[in-house]
A and B are shown apart, each in its own frame.
Chain A
Amino acid sequence: MTFNTFLRHLREGAKNIFRNGWMSVASVVSIIVSLFILGVFILLVLNVNAIADKADKQVQIRAYLNLNVDQKLRETVQKEIAAMPEVSKIDFISKEQGLEDFRKSMGDEGKELLEGFNKDNNPLPDAFKIEVYEPTTVPFVSKKIEALNTSHAEEQPIMKVKYGKGTIETLFKVTRMVRNIGFIFVAGLGVMSMFLISNTIRVTILARRREIGIMKLVGATNTFIRWPFFVEGTLIGLIGSIITVAILFTGYDRLAASIGSDFSLQMSLLPVSELWQWGGLLIVLGVLIGMWGTTLSIRKFLKV
């Protein structure tokens, strides 16, 4: 292909968008609608993921020690827990620290309630605060910690292991479900929008069957015929996706701002600045859909 021919294809492709008027508008709108729904779902899934991740990180194990545990045994146990491959971090919380933390978390009400307790009559046991790499391993790690009582059968160092059993397991179930459903939805919508667009483009091409016939008649090669359509599809995809991303992100930004300023809701949306790559992805997707749609629809008209 000569450079002049290439320029011709670009020019023709761009011109065709205007020549086809409403059909182009229809294609662009169908891209906007599909990509917009897709984008909303992506943003939803991303935010749910972010919230779930945050919740995941807050999942800790607390292992309370029996009162008879001396410093030496405590250090042995700490080492043993730290040596578990699932464990990312272990902190020792002395009974004094525990009381202090408890006071803080209770706030003003607690002040009165806990007034009588001091260093000497502290009812709390010493404890370890344990974090794991993978939140789903929490129940498993808890069992392993409990099992330390078997290896130290005489001393029985562990009094109790807690991790908010029920809540955490439900949270895992819910987040997993949201993620899975979200991804299935996103994949399904992606495929659906491709078909929608390829159909719209097919109608455009159908309207131009005559033109293609004439091109073939005067000896145009298939590649030559395909190029302007290809440029047109790509441009339609590009225009549609840029508009979508603009609408989506402006709307999202407004929403994030209004939720962020509402303190009664203890949550905030991911900031737009962290989502640009997803906008880029939507644009790439729009362009690919446009290209793919035209290539697919034009194939059958080139057989004559």
Chain B
Amino acid sequence: MIEMQDVWKTYPNGTHALQGVSVKIDRNEFVYVVGPSGAGKSTFMKLIYREEVPTKGQISVNGFNIGKLKQRKIPYVRRNIGVIFQDFRLLPKLTAYENVAFAMEVIEAPKRQMKKRVMEVLDLVGLKAKANRQPAQLSGGEQQRIAIARAIVNNPSVIIADEPTGNLDPETSWGIMQLLDEINFRGTTIVMATHNKDIVNTMRKRVIAIEHGNIVRDQLRGEYGYDF
């Protein structure tokens, strides 16, 4: 599903964000990526959805060689990857419904199918009743749910979540985690970078720890393992 072989990433300013990372993530796994700030977690995530290209080494996602992908093929690979961020990244002038439908318009899904599917995922994230609200009229947790709905609406095989609970209070965070767990249960691979110790230690999943651009720990049903 996702495979990295000796991946290096050096930024133009000389920072070695990743230094020879090799890892394999299988279909339907739920993986936490943990580690101190600046350890390379974000770079690790960005490489998967081709926001960045590796300086050296190979990455394959769903069978595509991400590093060597032609510019015009990138959109088609991204359609199979849902991405969720700490800051939600919703379009402020669109309603919740429109924000989710947007991801389907982009892949030119038929209109009738679109309406049905958008309502379906809004229902799944529990916001069917607030479909016509704009992001500003929703709470942080609700906005993140809309972002999740947008990420899953096209049935991607993998979801990349970069600190999805970073801006949310503990209670709301738990709601989001239950939702992601549910999505994972339905068959979607989830790779989630997080600083949330409680969540990692409670929901025992595979944990990959990155420090100084290297994977220092990779445990099934692991622990957070840091004090921050």
Interface residues of A (CB under 8 A from B): 1-2, 4-5, 8, 19, 210-211, 213-222, 224, 304
Contacts and interface: CB of A to CB of B under 8 A. Distances in A.
Interface of A (DSSP majority class)? helix
Contact of B83 (A2, A4, A217): A217
B107 interface: yes
Contacts of B89: 210, 213-214, 217
B42 to A, nearest CB: 15
Given A211-B91, A218-B102, A1 B76 contact: no
B78 A216 contact: yes
B79 A219 contact: yes
A2 B78 contact: no
A213 B110 CA distance: 24
B72 A218 contact: no
A4 B110 CA distance: 8
Interface centre among B51, B72, B76, B108, by most A CB within 10 Å?
Answer: B108
Interface residues of B, number: 23
A19 B93 contact: yes
B108 A5 contact: yes
A22 to B, nearest CB: 14
Interface centre among A1, A5, A213, A221, by most B CB within 10 Å?
Answer: A221
B103 interface: yes
**Minimum-distance CB pairs A-B, first 10:** A219-B79, A219-B78, A220-B106, A218-B103, A221-B75, A219-B75, A5-B108, A218-B106, A217-B83, A214-B89
Contacts, number: 50
Interface of B: 49, 51, 72, 75-79, 83, 89-91, 93, 102-103, 105-108, 110-111, 150, 154
A220 B92 CA distance: 19
B106 A215 contact: yes
A217 to B, nearest CB: 6
Given A214-B91, A219-B75, A220-B106, 11 more contacts: A1-B108, A4-B108, A5-B105, A210-B89, A218-B79, A218-B102, A218-B103, A218-B154, A219-B107, A221-B75, A224-B106
Contacts of B78: 216-219
A221 B72 CA distance: 7
Nearest to A218: B103
Contacts of B154: 218-219
